[in-house]
């Protein structure tokens, strides 16, 4: 169960999960992949998080379109599934360590399953987390967000403060990753030469004018995060 210093991909059900698929096709790897809810139907993972009791899927129709696929998968799933309680019908269920996580992180702010997974990563002292399919809001309607975005971003910020490297799919609305760099600093985005803030490989951050961005990227060896592209065909 030891996750310390591991690089972890967390995969949810949002549209940006496609970037996980493309990343894997481009030979990117992680020490572990964690799936949220019915993402276990699509991706191989090392552990899963399903914070609703299994009875929600096995005994009710409350989970909508996820109900049947989870009903089929849960009894035979082979990897650990963290949840709020055990159920003998799902042998691989593991009780989420809620007391330890709350005590050590000094917070009890959890209103969705992704938040529990990110908090687990913080509690486990992983080295890096990369989120895919965790979207909550979408380009074209940035003033609307599904419930839970603030909670996930709260836990991501706690991870960043703890020194964990945090990566988010550039298609995702989390941490404004789907907003152009020159529009992320409110107020400064209205200037003719906008200010841009970027993380450096050493964990530090740098702020520069848009007109100077290329030289800053080269000076600090900053890797620009772009939307993943499918692997190119072999050109023999």
Structural domains of the chain, ranges and CATH numbers in brackets:
7-178 (3.90.1480.10), 180-222 (no CATH)
**pLDDT < 70 stretches in the chain:** 1, 138-145, 225-236
Task: Give the pLDDT confidence score for residue 31 in this predicted structure.
Answer: 98
Angle between helices 98-105 and 113-124 (to 10 degrees): 70
Structure confidence by residue, pLDDT tens digits, 62-120: 889 999 999 999 999 999 999 999 999 999 999 999 999 999 999 999 999 999 999 99
Task: Give the pLDDT confidence score for residue 216 in this predicted structure.
Answer: 93
Task: Give the pLDDT confidence score for residue 136 in this predicted structure.
Answer: 82
Task: Give the pLDDT confidence score for residue 7 in this predicted structure.
Answer: 97
Task: Give the pLDDT confidence score for residue 209 in this predicted structure.
Answer: 94
CA distances to 34, 53, 96 from 113, in Å: 12, 12, 11
Cα 82 to Cα 117: distance, rounded to the nearest angstrom: 9
Task: Give the pLDDT confidence score for residue 215 in this predicted structure.
Answer: 92
Identify whether the C-beta of residue 120 lies closer than 8 Å to the C-beta of residue 82: yes
Task: Give the pLDDT confidence score for residue 167 in this predicted structure.
Answer: 93
Show Cβ contacts of residue 3 under 8 Å, excluding neighbours closer than 6 positions.
Answer: 32, 121, 124, 125, 126
Cα 106 to Cα 120: distance, rounded to the nearest angstrom: 13
Residue 50 tokens read as 């399903």
Residue 34 tokens read as 């964690």
Task: Give the pLDDT confidence score for residue 199 in this predicted structure.
Answer: 87
Task: Give the pLDDT confidence score for residue 225 in this predicted structure.
Answer: 60
Core vs surface per residue 182-204: b (16+ CB within 10 A) or e = bebbeebbeeeebebebbeeeee
Residue 234 tokens read as 């072999």
Identify whether the C-beta of residue 114 lies closer than 8 Å to the C-beta of residue 148: yes
Task: Give the pLDDT confidence score for residue 195 in this predicted structure.
Answer: 96
Task: Give the pLDDT confidence score for residue 58 in this predicted structure.
Answer: 93
């Amino acid at each position: 169960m030891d996750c310390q210093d591991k690089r972890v991909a967390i995969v949810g059900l949002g549209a940006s999960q496609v970037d996980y698929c493309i990343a894997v096709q481009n030979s990117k790897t992680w020490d572990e992949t964690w799936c949220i809810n019915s993402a276990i139907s699509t991706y191989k993972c090392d552990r899963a998080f399903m914070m609703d009791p299994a009875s929600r899927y096995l005994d009710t129709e409350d989970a909508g379109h996820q109900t049947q696929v989870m009903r089929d998968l849960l009894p035979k799933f082979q990897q650990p599934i963290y949840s709020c309680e055990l159920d003998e019908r799902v042998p691989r269920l593991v009780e989420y360590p809620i007391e330890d996580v709350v005590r050590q992180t000094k917070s009890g702010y959890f209103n969705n399953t992704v938040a529990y997974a990110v908090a687990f990563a913080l509690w486990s002292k992983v080295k890096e987390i990369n989120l895919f399919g965790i979207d909550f809001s979408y380009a074209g309607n940035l003033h609307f967000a599904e419930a839970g975005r603030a909670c996930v971003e709260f836990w991501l910020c706690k991870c960043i403060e703890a020194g964990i490297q945090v990566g988010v799919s550039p298609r995702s609305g989390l941490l404004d990753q789907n907003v152009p760099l020159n529009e992320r600093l409110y107020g400064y985005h209205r200037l003719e030469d906008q200010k841009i803030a970027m993380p450096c490989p050493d964990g530090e951050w740098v702020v520069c004018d848009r007109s100077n961005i290329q030289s800053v990227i080269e000076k600090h060896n900053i890797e620009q995060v772009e939307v993943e592209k499918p692997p190119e065909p072999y050109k023999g």
